[in-house]
Chain A
């Protein structure tokens, strides 16, 4: 578990181990009384040129995890290593000043194109600012570089002097994308980049993301709650529930050979445009429990239709049950001395 094999390490751009992010809850005297356990011990490897889709309901910690990975938050525990030419550097507790040289490699695209752009700056300024901060090129080169990147994401040169409010949602998302791309990053965390957009605009942005990836060997961590978008864009998919990844598999595998009961319920809930195929929906009862006081044992047992008494006591770990298919569920745990589901099979 601890170290990757040498040949595997070559392709990995980011290696995260046991990432944990707690947000303290303080009482009136500033004493920490409890924690919101947003992300609880998540392992993840991202490979060069792949798109890793992360799905889950609101409040499951997917955005927090994405932010922690590129150190917009400092994780409470765990290790995050990114590849720097040949060796790996642990950035999990690095100082801001040291971190700056690695920021170039990891960028983020935000969900809301309306609040993530400074309304008082022109598009040109927004993009050039990034180059100034990272001290790239002379002033004249910067303008040229900005123009180039704008062309790449489908913005016109005259847009350079416009303000964000003069653009539509889709155009603004292009600006956000240009801002992330201008530094030539290796990894982009896309936090629900298309969920605020209409379908016709959504497909434009998704196609753009894929074109850019092909040209530059970009790695995406694509966070979304829309199953059909995730299915279309991802190579591998991780399903998150209450701060844990409960299932991780290659795209096709996850949809055809769904293992975890939560993933099954999530897929069944997705509405489909095929009118004929009226599915028997497993309606997931109830809602996500509070991350302040998560259930003991398996976090999903309160809503799981297969739950047994053992699930309330033993917390499952994410284990490979088939090749490249990891599940965190006791039902598939072969090491369990007495598997109560065995008899049913």
Chain B
């Protein structure tokens, strides 16, 4: 199905290395995936597994002179973004690739009105005049479902509620009609009722604008509702990649299985104890040799402790990194 679709983004063997007091730490290690036009790709994993680092690496948001260095390639429309200069990168950020963050209150500028922050993007990237930009900004606010956009245009972020702020941020991200939207936990700080509204909005706009969306979340249920494909990450590596249907009906990696089983089901049996993944995610300077999940895996063998498994295709759409999977 996907083969006839156009690729927006190809990430090949991407590694992001941070230079810290503890030496060089590889926050993500050899991550490869594709994003197609018009699809929503979910990236799941627990805190510290590198999902946000992946997102910010795609935007090249880390300071490459001091804090971080990258390895591998990120092809955006066939061109490696690591070849771009800083100036060229600026023209891409916010215009061709844009990002929605988790915490809207700290991501929006508190001293400017919502309207002026949308206008800013439009005036910089599309060189619109103030008047045109204002019209477009109001149109954007209306598109993301903000009632009375003319009034909201002149309000500061603190005057909006959490859901409204998230909508405003989506409006800024989509103002220049990007080809790729990276949404980093866009609904995590919201209530379920508001979360449902924002999820519907993103799915809706994804169809309308035919853009690729990378949705980063720790919530498997959100993935199930929104995405078509999923990547599961653990400690800086992809451990499983599959269609959303397969990941829930036929998960292969013990970590994916553990994640799914540890969520309390809304129609589950209460007398059963919840499934637990023992222990916790190791620190980046204590990465186990062999398979990275070997310290917590119930199926661990001697081989897992010494040799690192590769991410292998087990069917046309599913890839797994585990020795136990045939």
Of B192, B248, B273, B276, which is within 8 A of A274 by CB? B248
Q: Is the CB of B194 within 8 A of A287?
A: yes
Bound state CA distance, A233 and B276, in angstroms?
Answer: 15
- Residues facing A in B155-209 (CB within 8 A) are 161-164, 191-197, 199-200
A75 CB to nearest B CB, Å: 25
Complex interface residues of chain A between 254 and 308 (CB less than 8 A to chain B) = 255, 265-266, 268-276, 281, 283-284, 287
User: Is the CB–CB distance between B225 and A272 below 8 Å?
Assistant: yes
A281 to B191 alpha-carbon distance, docked (Å): 15
Q: Which residue of A lies closest to B273 (CB)?
A: A207
Residue B47 at the chain A interface, CB threshold 8 Å: yes
Cross-chain contact B263 with A269 (CB below 8 angstroms): no
Binds B, one of A85-93, A129-137, A224-232: A224-232
With A199-B46, A200-B276, A275-B248 known to touch, is A229 a contact of B262 (CB < 8 Å)? no
Given contacts A199-B263, A273-B260, contact A266 B193 (CB under 8 A): yes
Tell me which of A200, A276, A281 contacts B196 (CB under 8 A). A281
| Known A-B contacts A274-B248, A287-B161; A228 and B264 likewise in contact (beta carbons under 8 Å) | yes
Complex contact A272–B193 (CB within 8 A): no
Q: How far is the CA of A265 from the CA of B268 in the complex (A)?
A: 20
Task: Closest A residue to B224 by CB, please name it.
Answer: A273
Q: Which of B16-24, B90-98, B118-126, B214-222 is found at the contact surface with chain A? A: B214-222
B230-248 near A? 1/0 per residue, CB < 8 Å: 0000000000000011001
How far, in angstroms, from A164 to B273 measured CA to CA in the complex? 28
Cβ contacts under 8 Å, A210 to chain B: 273
Instruction: Check B265 for interface membership: any CB of A closer than 8 A.
Output: yes
**Chain B: CB-nearest residue to A287:** B161
Q: Which label, helix, strand, loop or mixed, suits the secondary structure of the A interface? A: helix
Please measure, in the bound complex, the distance between the C-alpha atom of A156 and the C-alpha atom of B195, giving whole angstroms. Answer: 39
Q: Assess whether A225 is in contact with B224, with CB atoms less than 8 Å apart.
A: no
CB-defined contacts of B221 to chain A, threshold 8 Å: 228, 270-273
Of B46, B191, B197, the contact of A225 (CB 8 Å cutoff): B191
**B299 contacts A by Cβ under 8 Å:** no
Residues of B near A232 (CB, < 8 A) are 264-265, 268, 270, 274
Is the CB–CB distance between B274 and A206 below 8 Å? yes
User: Is A201 touching B280 in the complex (CB atoms < 8 A)?
Assistant: yes
Q: How far is the CB of A106 from chain B (nearest CB, A)?
A: 26
A284-B193 contact given A199-B46, A203-B262, A271-B225, CB 8 Å threshold: yes
Cross-interface CB contact of A275 among B224, B266, B276, cutoff 8 Å: B224
In the bound complex, how far is the Cα of B192 from the Cα of A160, in angstroms? 39
Asked if residues B275 and A203 are in contact (CB atoms below 8 Å), the reply is yes
> Please, which residues of chain A bring their CB within 8 A of the CB of B163?
287
Q: Is B143 an interface residue (CB 8 A)?
A: no
Contact of B200 among A58, A276, A283 (CB under 8 A): A283
Q: Which residues of B contact A265 (CB under 8 A)?
A: 193
Give the residue name and chain of the B residue nearest to A206 (CB). Answer: B274
Name the B residues within 8 Å of A266 (CB-CB).
192-193
| Residue B258 interfacial (CB < 8 Å) | yes
Task: Say yes or no: A58 contacts B162, CB within 8 Å.
Answer: yes
Q: How many residues from A make CB contacts under 8 Å with B?
A: 40
B192 and A199 form a contact (CB under 8 A): no
Q: Does the CB pair B218–A198 fall under 8 Å?
A: yes
Q: Which chain A residues (156-205) contact chain B, with CB distance < 8 Å?
A: 168-170, 198-204
* Residue of A whose beta carbon sits closest to that of B44: A199
Determine if A251 is an interface residue (Cβ-Cβ < 8 Å): yes
Q: Contact check, B265 vs A168: say whether CB atoms are below 8 A apart.
A: no
* A112 contacts partner chain B, Cβ-Cβ < 8 Å: no
A271 pairs with B222, CB closer than 8 A:
yes
Chain B residues whose CB sits within 8 angstroms of the CB of A198 once the complex forms: 46-47, 218
Tell me, rounded to whole Å, the shortest Cβ–Cβ distance linking B191 to chain A.
4
CA distance A24 to B93 in the complex (A): 46
Bound Cα distance A270, B263 (Å): 13
> CA of A233 to CA of B273 in the docked complex: distance in angstroms?
10
- Determine whether the beta carbon of A272 is less than 8 Å from that of B224: yes
The listed residue with most B CB atoms (<10 A of its CB), out of A226, A229, A269, is: A269
B287, CB-defined interface residue at 8 Å? no
> Once bound together, how far apart are the Cα atoms of A271 and B220, in whole Å?
9
Across-interface contacts of B46 in A (CB, < 8 A):
198-201
Nearest Cβ on chain A to B281's Cβ, whole angstroms: 8
> Which A residues are CB-close (under 8 A) to B297?
none
Contact, CB under 8 Å: A202 / B262? yes
A222 CB to closest chain B CB (Å) equals: 12
Interface flag for B277 (CB, 8 Å) = yes
Complexed CA–CA distance, A281 and B198 (Å): 13
Partner of B192, one of A169, A170, A202, A269: A269
Give the 6 A-B residue pairs with the shortest CB-CB distance, closest first.
A232-B264, A271-B221, A200-B277, A198-B46, A269-B196, A203-B262
Give 24 CB contacts A-B under 8 Å.
A57-B191, A57-B193, A58-B191, A168-B280, A170-B280, A198-B218, A199-B263, A200-B258, A200-B259, A201-B280, A202-B262, A203-B274, A203-B275, A203-B277, A206-B264, A210-B273, A225-B191, A225-B192, A233-B264, A255-B267, A270-B221, A273-B265, A275-B249, A283-B200
User: Could you list 4 further interchain pairs (A-B, Cβ under 8 angstroms) beyond the known A199-B220, A199-B263, A275-B249?
Assistant: A228-B221, A231-B264, A269-B193, A271-B225
What is the interface of chain B, defined by CB distance below 8 A to chain A? 46-47, 161-164, 191-197, 199-200, 218-222, 224-225, 244-245, 248-249, 258-260, 262-268, 270, 273-277, 280
